[in-house]
Homo-oligomer: A and B are copies of this chain.
Amino acid sequence: MPGQRSITQAEKLAEAKLGGIPVRHEQMAVVANIYRAASAVRQHLENSVLRGADLTWTAFVVLWVVWIWGESETRHVAEEAGISKGTLTGVSRTLEKRGLLRRAGHPTDGRLVLLSLTEEGEELMRRVFPAFNEEEAFVAAQLDVDECRSVADGLRRVVLQVEEHGEERRLALLDGAAPAPRRSGRRPQP
């Protein structure tokens, strides 16, 4: 089992590298495996069901959110899909061009844009989602239902921890220092 062994070995090597400074092994293993699992799952789903429907992971997630929640404002969709507003603008326009998504202005608030599925989009989701869910079951096949529940619950606690305390934690770490702006991002007008 390469995953198991290589991570354990990496941890030991890391400890050696740090020369006695304590490493939080279990927490490190959780983070490493969260990321590995996310990549593996995404790759598998993109290369199986999504590729066939000509959808990227992000595009599928956006369609899924709108499908489940019904007509929604873009900021909620971005939030729920876990992408930035800027990304959603591009993705939703691509999906609109393909006739899967509708973009409509809000009747009373001119700032808002509402997203909803077209009939074609609904059809697509009715067809693709069962296959998607089947592959979700495939990737989780080594876990029984109780294990699924407990892993999902543990991950939820991680998400909540970051959502609820992440901001304050980051501020505490910076300790008043400038937030060090990201390298990318739009430049100010001259």
Report which A residues bind B (CB closer than 8 A).
1-4, 6-7, 10, 13-14, 17-18, 21, 23-24, 26-44, 47-49, 51-52, 54, 56, 67-69, 80, 82, 125-126, 129-130, 133-143, 145, 147-152, 154-163, 165-166, 169-170, 173-174, 179-180, 182-183
Contact = CB atoms under 8 A, between A and B. Distances in A.
Contacts of A159: 3, 33, 36-37, 40
A47 B84 CA distance: 15
A157 B37 CA distance: 9
B161 A141 contact: yes
A34 B30 contact: no
A16 to B, nearest CB: 9
